[in-house]
Amino acid sequence: MVVVAAESHMGKTHFMISTAYEIMTKLGKGVLYVSPEMDRNQVNARMLARITGVDSANIQAQTQSYWQQIAQGVVQLGEMPWQIFEHSTPTTTMIASAVRRSIAEFGGSIGAVFVDYLQQIPLESGGNMAHEVGKITRQIRAIAKEHKIPVFLGCQINRGNQTTADKRPNRHLLRNSGEIFEVCDQLIMLYRDAVYTKDPSDQTIELIVEKNRLYGKLGTATMLCDFSTSRFLNFAR
């Protein structure tokens, strides 16, 4: 289980859309995208932007000058192993059922599941919030273990870093953290300086690896991201 954590507007969804695209196109594996927050049309618009290079805003507005590119992208998306499970309050039981259905429909294998994001999954009423978040995280990891597939879980963080000089996130800022850090196999935290500087020309994004149980290496990778098309590129200084 890979936790992708960040404040709002740092790029969690863009990162997961881009990763899903790479899994489908480079590995030829099916992907299930669980979306409690955005509806199916919004998610597909993000993926179409990644496929076509057309700004997702133009796709959603159906800008006439891009119709041909969008139409070609729709055909390409229709041929890709891409499924969306849209529900405003999905429980882990519902997510597990959606995963089983996708595995069956994809012929017994699946490349990854993306859950966008943890705080949209309803807690049991009356329970301790931190405990319940930890319980949900364990249940999602159990889905990954049962089916032997990676699950990418988006997660919001607290804004405690905003009062510090270095606003980069760390694992202590995981919102209602419970056991998130202990349970996950990898923790990737996203940071964009442009969120604070308001510099529209700054397209750099930092992927801060705080935990890496699978491969061991920790550190920060700086990349370029075109948020209009959810495209991540290697960054050369």
35 phi and psi angles, rounded to 5 deg? -125, 95
| pLDDT at position 160 | 62
The Cα 120–Cα 117 span in angstroms is: 6
pLDDT at res. 163: 66
Q: Which pLDDT belongs to residue 131?
A: 82
Q: For residue 100, what pLDDT is reported?
A: 97
Regions in the chain scoring below 70 on pLDDT: 125-127, 159-164, 175-178, 236-237
pTM higher than 0.95 = no
